[in-house]
Chains A and B, each alone.
Chain A
């Protein structure tokens, strides 16, 4: 009996402790750090100017294979929910601006693509892996953070976007 309880305790303990110690820090629950970046079309966009709207910030890189899958999915989400108050912003962290621009052109997305030439933004948003997608609610708080992209993740994005749009 004691052995069974001991094993059960160990299993529960491991399950409780492991995610806490292994979880990387995220921005969830914190105010989204403000930024202003230049978009492909030459306009400057500031995150805080979208306060009152739900903002999806997608950090991507040309060399990250998942970005190639994620960007068309985000484009579909943008075209559907843009009128409902969703703003999608794509931020390239590529160092090679020209190639990043070519890649963005080839993806033919309708949402603004910007280029982060400084390194502060990656640090502010605790970027771990590319692509990384962050959902900011109407009051400017980071509510969801997704690292990487796999097939079916866009459905999770949709559920979370709908939830934030309803608030």
Chain B
């Protein structure tokens, strides 16, 4: 029985605590109008300084303030407008910060001095349906990319894909690219292209270009070094 009464007392105190917790937000509300309560719940606008008139009213929900809050309730749109503008401003700041972070990350991970970027482009492509590209730099495979029909179509429409971004030290290097796909008359086709390039100080950009060699009815694979 003694144990039972302890359980009952624990349940009762838990219920009372839950009730009190539920009542807390309601206790703050009756004094102030709902519009005045909004800036109090969001500390950022108050710190920014714009809704300073509304903030003290909401912070001290005493009886005279409650009376003062009544006329403030007539002008909630202005408060909401400033709040909305500030939220929009904050969103813009977040986007800007995100962009800066991305640029910083890229500069840190791939500093311009050692950066090498490889792009893929297709010009016409009537004699070749691209399936995959394998990129090897200094005899080490750095990328193997399978193209879906949609991706190959995007390249045919003029899209340029960054297939690889990495780091290389200054000096002489060799890049070999293997192109796999369907050649003329739906035949399996695999060709390679090689370029020896000198990596100096500054970023290096290379373009793997697939084009049509019309007189020979064959595709052509070239690698262009963008100085």
Q: Which residues in chain B, 143-189, are within 8 Å of chain A measured between CB atoms?
A: 146-151
Q: How far is the CA of A121 from the CA of B149 in the complex (A)?
A: 21
Number of A-B contacts (CB under 8 A): 20
Chain B hits for A37, CB < 8 A: 146
B132's nearest neighbour on chain A, judged by CB, is A44
Q: How far is the CA of A38 from the CA of B132 in the complex (A)?
A: 10
Contact present for B148 and A44 (CB under 8 Å)? yes
Contact present for A44 and B3 (CB under 8 Å)? no
Q: Does A43 contact B (CB under 8 A)?
A: yes
Chain B hits for A153, CB < 8 A: none
Secondary structure of the B contact surface, majority rule:
mixed
Secondary structure of the A contact surface, majority rule:
strand
Say which size band chain A's interface belongs to: 10 to 19
Q: Does B220 contact A (CB under 8 A)?
A: no
Chain A hits for B149, CB < 8 A: 43-44
Q: Does A1 contact B (CB under 8 A)?
A: yes
Q: How far is the CA of A36 from the CA of B149 in the complex (A)?
A: 12
Interface centre among A1, A2, A38, A46 (most CB of B within 10 A): A46
Q: How far is the CA of A43 from the CA of B149 in the complex (A)?
A: 7
Q: Distance (Å) between the CB of A18 and the closest chain B CB?
A: 26
**Chain B interface residues toward A at CB < 8 A:** 3, 131-132, 146-151
Given A1-B3, A43-B149, A44-B149, 6 other A-B residues pairs in contact with their CB atoms under 8 A: A2-B3, A43-B148, A44-B132, A44-B148, A45-B148, A46-B151
